[in-house]
Amino acid sequence: MMGARVILDCDTNNEIDDQLAIAYALGCADLDVLGVVSVQNTVASGPASVDRYVEEARRVADLCGRPGLPCPAGARTPMETPTSPVTSAGLDFIVEQARVAPLTLLATGPITDVASLVLLHPHLLDRVHVVWAGAFPDEATWIHRRLGELNARADVAAWRALYSSDIRLTLLPGWPRIAEVAVDWREYAQSLTGLGGDAAGYLAGIIEGWCSEREARDAVGGGTVSRRKVLWDVVNVALLRNPDWVRLEERDLPTLDAAGAPDYGRPSRRADVCVGVDADAILADLWSALVRLP
């Protein structure tokens, strides 16, 4: 019997962790993965971001043994204002599935599709649980990491709309806790290659390619060269697999201005926020799922 009904809403191919999150979910028999929606990230990948993301999502689904898995295009542009939703085939797919039965939306990119759902279909909000890999847990983290967090910054208007909504929301901010879910990328890629499967081989290749390029840029720029790679987005899936691996605390979320600057003295709403992870358990479960893939 299938478990939680899940849609992933990703900026797949912006980096490599979205692909790992998709593979993780598809490798778990207790998750009913309904589809993968590709949302814009024009900040990271330019105006054609959605096209390359859709192509990558389909490729990963095929390699993971799910050819034909719905992989519609989500919003192609950020929202212009917090009250200007962006329609898309991906949003229509989310709405269609939410009408069938409640679902969990694992959002691992900009929050455009979710904010558009909030604005256009408020009657469905009690049927959708959003788990977002984005934003910040507190003011100190925002001050220190505000330029490194792209999922919120890539659509500030959508971020503001989300924080003004009543949809059930769980936040998994990248720092400081999700950043603990990390591997030595060279060793991880070698281990994946050793599995011998098509999916594992592809994932090994994109890890090697992306991390090698990052390492080369860091070396040229005089930055710190590290073999450590955070697997940010897999934590969204891990939360569904075992809530004990992701410690949550209900907190006030700040009011946001037009530039995305938070005012923690003016709460907008409350939500569950990640304050701790069992990184070893998450990485072990991810590996178990990857081993099961073709």
Q: Which residue has the tokens 């019997």?
A: 1
Rounded to the nearest 5 percent, the helix, strand and coil shares of the chain are 45, 20, 30
- Look at residue 3 in the predicted model and tell me its pLDDT: 85
- Look at residue 184 in the predicted model and tell me its pLDDT: 98
At what angle are helices 49-63 and 198-220 packed, to 10 degrees?
A: 140
CA separation for the pair 171, 19 (Å, rounded) = 20
Neighbours of 231 (CB within 10 A): 25
pLDDT tens column, 47-94: 999 999 999 999 999 999 999 999 999 999 999 999 999 999 999 999
What integer best gives the mean pLDDT of the chain? 97
| Ordered DSSP codes for 84-121 | -----HHHHHHHHHHHHS-EEEEE-S-SHHHHHHHHH-
Whether pTM exceeds 0.95:
yes
Pick the closest to residue 158 from 95, 82, 84, 261 (CA basis).
82
Residue 221: both structure tokens together? 């720029």
- Look at residue 217 in the predicted model and tell me its pLDDT: 84
| The architecture CATH gives domain 4-181+231-291 | Alpha-Beta Complex (3.90)
**DSSP state for residue 224 in the 8-state scheme:** -
pLDDT tens column, 198-236: 999 999 999 999 999 988 887 887 777 789 999 999 999
% the chain with pLDDT above 90: 95
- Residue 1, pLDDT above cutoff 50: no
- Look at residue 122 in the predicted model and tell me its pLDDT: 98
- Look at residue 218 in the predicted model and tell me its pLDDT: 79
% the chain with pLDDT above 70: 99
Q: Where in the chain is the domain with CATH 3.90.245.10?
A: 4-181+231-291
pLDDT tens column, 12-50: 999 999 999 999 999 999 999 999 999 999 999 999 999
Sign, Cα dihedral of 134, 98, 243, 20? negative
- Look at residue 289 in the predicted model and tell me its pLDDT: 99
The predicted model gives 88-104 an average pLDDT of 99
Please tell me which residue, 219 or 268, carries the higher pLDDT value: 268
**DSSP state for residue 14 in the 8-state scheme:** S
- Look at residue 2 in the predicted model and tell me its pLDDT: 64
- Look at residue 222 in the predicted model and tell me its pLDDT: 74
| Ordered DSSP codes for 164-217 | TS-SEEEE--TTTTGGG-EEEHHHHHHHHHHH--HHHHHHHHHHHHHHHHHHHH
The predicted model gives 105-110 an average pLDDT of 99
